[in-house]
Every structure is written in C-alpha cells, then in structure tokens.
Amino acid sequence: MPNQDVVDRFVATVTAGDYVGAIERFYAPCASMQENQDAPRVGRDGLVRHEQAIMSAFESITCEIIGAPLIAGDHVAIQWRFAFTPHGGQTRTLQEIAWQRWERDEIAEEIFFYDPRQITG
C-alpha cells in the first residue's frame, strides 16, 4: 500500500511538468503503462523513452489534477487533465483516469482510461 505522502509527491512531480522524473522516481523497474485497451508498455527505461518522445512532439504539455487521489489498498485512482500544445498548433485537452497498482511505494502497473476523440476531435 503506498504511503499518502509518496502519492502526494508523485502528483506534485507530475503537475510540475516533470513527467520523465515522475517515471524515474516513482515507477518500479518492471513497471507497465497501458493506454485504454492497447498493449502495455513494459519496463521503466522504455517508459522513460516513450515519455521523452511524446514530450518532444509538443511545444508544451501541462497537467492538473482534478480532485484528490483515491487510495484503496495497493490501488490509486487519479483524475488528470492535460493540455497538449503541438509546435505551431492548436492546444488539445485530454481528461483521463489513471488506475495504478502500487507495490509498496512504487507504481507497478498503470492503465489510462480516456476518450481518444478528445485529442483528435
């Protein structure tokens, strides 16, 4: 079960825009991330590389949390709102729920649930 303080530090890291740092500091070495029903990406190093690629595709990415994280045993649910601004393009907003399974104070698995039409729409 994750400590509330650790979850709060994770949220603060993400909302400060340190997305790569959040993965490096709070994800287990064998962690996985999954977008909706896509196949999961596995391994912290690969997660970092994927995040860096996403960040380089945009001029800016900002994030805010909506409400407090919900902690129930080893699971945490967080509602995020991201704003993605591509280089020379129009900002798109994405609202999602992150469902995480923690092992002690590290994220072992994370699934993002969102409507992809928010970005393409």
- Considering only CA atoms, give the Rg of the chain: 14
Q: Is the pTM of this model over 0.85?
A: yes
Exposure string for 70-100, b = 16+ CB within 10 A, e = fewer: ebeeeebebbbebebeeeeeeeeebebebbb
Domain ranges of the chain: 4-120
- Residue 47 and residue 42: Cα distance in Å, rounded? 7
> What average pLDDT does the chain have?
95
CATH number for the region 4-120 comes to: 3.10.450.50
Average pLDDT over residues 28-32: 98
pLDDT tens by residue, 56-85? 999 999 999 999 999 999 999 999 999 999
The 3-state secondary structure of 5-74 reads HHHHHHHHHHHCCCHHHHHHHHEEEEEEEEECCCCCEECHHHHHHHHHHHHHCEEEEEEEECCCCEEECC
